Structure 1
Amino acid sequence: MKLLQLTDIHLTKPGDTIAGRDPNENFRKALGHAVTHHPDAEAIFITGDLSDWGDKDDYLRLKAEIAECPLPIHLCIGNHDERDVFLSVFPEGADENGFVQAIVPLSEGTAILLDTWGPDTHAGFYCSKRQDWLDRELSKATAPVFLFMHHNPVPIGIAPMDKIMLQDADGFGQVVARHAAKIRHIFHGHCHLPLAGSLHDIPFSAPRGTNHAGWPDFANKGNLAGSDLPESYAVVLAEETSTMIHMIEYGYEGTVRREGSPDYADWDRLTMVR
C-alpha cells in the first residue's frame, strides 16, 4: 500500500510569497509531482496549515485544486487554519463533535485524521472530548492504524518549537499507549523539519513541507529558524510487516546522477562512475 503525506502547504492570496516562495505554485507542483510519479498511491493526506491566514478564499482555491486530482485527498487542519472558516467550505470534514476528524478505511488497515487546532495560538490541543473520541475509534478500528495530525506530540528539543507543540501530549499519549499494538505509525507536520522518533514505542515522522523549510537551530531560544532547503512531501510504503517512508524533495533542481550498480561484480575501480 502506498500513501502520500503533504504538509504545511500554507496557501496564500495569489501573488503573496512566504520566505520568497510562492506556496500556491509550490502546492500545485507538489500535487503534480505526486500524481505523475505516484499514480498508484491509494490516497494523499495533507496534515494541516492548509491556509497561511485561515482565509476562506484559500480554502475555496484548495477545494478547486483537489477536485481535479485523480487521487483521493484527506485534510487535517493546523494552527494557521481557522476551523469554522475551513468547515464553511468543507462541511463534510466535521465529526459529530464539530472537530475536523475522520476515519478513512484503507486497503491495509485504517487511517484516522486528528484535529489538534486551538483558537488564538500556534500550539496544539487535544482535549478530553477529542481524546474520548479517539479512544472509541481506535477500539473499533481495523489494524494497522495510521494516525495523521498537525502538531508534533513529542518535544523535538528546539525551544521555540517545543513551546507550540501539542499541549495535551500526556493525555494524547495515554490514549495511544492503550492502543499501541494497533497503531503502526503517527504522521505529523508543523515543524517544517524532517523528523522521526517514537511515542510509547509507536513510530512517528514528519517531512519538511511543500513551501518554506525550517532549520534545527538548537541554540536559538526565542525564534523559529528557516532555511532554503528544498520543498518536500512524504511517500509511505506500508506492507504487512513493515513501513518505509521517503521524504521526496521535489523542489530540488540540481542534477540527479545514475551511478553505480547494486551488483557487486560491477564495482570496479577503473570503470565505476563515482
Structure 2
Amino acid sequence: MIIAQVTDTHIGYDPGAGEAEFNYLRCLAVLDAILALPSQPDMLVLSGDLADNGDPDCYARLKSAVERCPFPVYPMAGNHDARGELLRAFPEYADPNGFVQFTAACRGLRVICLDSLEEGRHGGAFCETRAAWLTAELEAHPETPTVLFIHHPPVVAGIDWMDPRPHEDWFRRFHETVAAHRQIVGIRCGHLHRPLHAMVGHIPVSVTPAVAPAVALDLSPLDFDHADARAIVTAEPPFFSLHRWHEGALVTHFQPVGDWPTLARYEDKLVPMMQGLNAERE
C-alpha cells in the first residue's frame, strides 16, 4: 500500500493572482509528479494549510485540481485554514463534533486523520473532545496497524519560532492519548515546511516538507524581542512524500519536484549489475 502526502499548499498567499499564483502552480506541479509515478498511490492525504487565508475560492481551486486523481483524496485542516470553508468544499470529512476528522482503511492499514486547528492560533490544538474521539477510534480497532495524520508535529524540532512547548495542553494531551496504543505504527505531519524524523514515545514521527517554500533550517535560539536578520523562508523546491506499508513496516520517502536530467536508466548494460545485486540477497 502507498499513501501520498501533500502538505502546506498555502493557496491564496498571493491574493488576486488566481490561476497564475506561485503556490498554486507549485501545487499543480506536485500533483502532476504524483500522477506520473510508475506506482500510483492508493490514496492522497492533504495534511493541512491548504488555503493560506481560508478563502473559499482557494478550496474550490484545490478541489478542482485533485478531481483528476484516480484515487481517494483526503483533506485536513491546518492553522491557516478556515474549518467552515474547508468543509463547505469537502463536506463529507466532518466528524459529529464539526472537526475535520475521519478514518480510512486500505490493505490492512487503518488511517486516522486528525484536526489540530484552533482558529486564531498558529500552534496546534488537541482538545478533550478530539482526544476522546481518537481514543474511541483506537480502542475500537486495537489489533489493526494504524497511522495517524495530524498537521502540527507533536515534537519540539529546534526551530524556535515554529515549535510548541511541551507544557502546552494540546501537546501533553496528544502524548498521553497515544501512549498506550501499540497499534500506532507512525505519525505523519506537515506544518514545519521541512523534512523531519522524531519519536513520540514508541511511535516514529515524520514531517513532509511543504509544497509552499521552505522554512529555513536554523536551530539557534530566537530572541523574540530583537530581530537578527536570520533567514525565515527559503525558495526550496516543492515536495511530496510517499508512505509505503509493506509486510508490517511503514517506510517514508520524501520527493522534491523539479526539472532535472536523468543520469542513468535501467538499460541492457545494467542487467549484470542488477543480477549480481539480486544474487547477494538469495
Q: State the TM-score, normalized to the length of structure 2.
A: 0.85
Q: Percent identity?
A: 30
Among candidates 234, 244, 247, match of residue 254 of structure 2: 247
Q: Say yes or no: does 1:69 pair with 2:75.
A: no
1:104 corresponding residue in structure 2: 104
2:81 corresponding residue in structure 1: 81
SS in 2 for 1:172: helix
Distance 2:275 2:148 in 1: 43
Q: C-alpha deviations, 1:77-97, integer Å up to 9, x for none?
A: 100001112122222111011
Q: C-alpha deviations, 1:12-59, integer Å up to 9, x for none?
A: 145279xxx711111111111101115531100010000011001111
How far 1:105 sits from its partner (Å)?
1.3
How far 1:264 sits from its partner (Å)?
9.6
2:184 corresponding residue in structure 1: 183
1:270 corresponding residue in structure 2: none
How far 1:74 sits from its partner (Å)?
0.4
1:272 corresponding residue in structure 2: none
1:199 corresponding residue in structure 2: 200
1:121 corresponding residue in structure 2: 121
Distance 2:214 2:30 in 1: 14
Q: Contact conserved, 1:14 with 1:24, CA < 8 A, in 2?
A: no
SS in 2 for 1:37: coil
Unpaired runs of 5+ residues, structure 1, are: 267-274
2:8 corresponding residue in structure 1: 8
Q: Contact conserved, 2:187 with 2:206, CA < 8 A, in 1?
A: yes
2:261 partner letter: T
SS in 1 for 2:162: helix
**What are the equivalent positions in structure 2 for 1:163-174 lying under 5 Å apart?**
163=164, 168-174=170-176
Distance 2:50 2:64 in 1: 13
How far 1:259 sits from its partner (Å)?
8.5
SS in 2 for 1:243: strand
SS in 1 for 2:126: coil
SS in 2 for 1:30: helix
2:62 partner letter: L
1:257 corresponding residue in structure 2: 263
SS in 2 for 1:187: strand
SS in 2 for 1:104: strand
Q: Contact conserved, 1:191 with 1:208, CA < 8 A, in 2?
A: yes
Distance 1:264 1:55 in 2: 51
SS in 1 for 2:161: helix
Distance 2:43 2:177 in 1: 26
How far 1:210 sits from its partner (Å)?
1.1
Q: State the TM-score, normalized to the length of structure 1.
A: 0.88
How far 1:254 sits from its partner (Å)?
3.3
**Structure 1 residues 140, 23: closer, same or farther in 2, change over 3 A?**
same
2:158 corresponding residue in structure 1: 157
1:230 corresponding residue in structure 2: 237
**What are the equivalent positions in structure 2 for 1:22-33 lying under 5 Å apart?**
22-33=22-33
Distance 1:163 1:110 in 2: 27
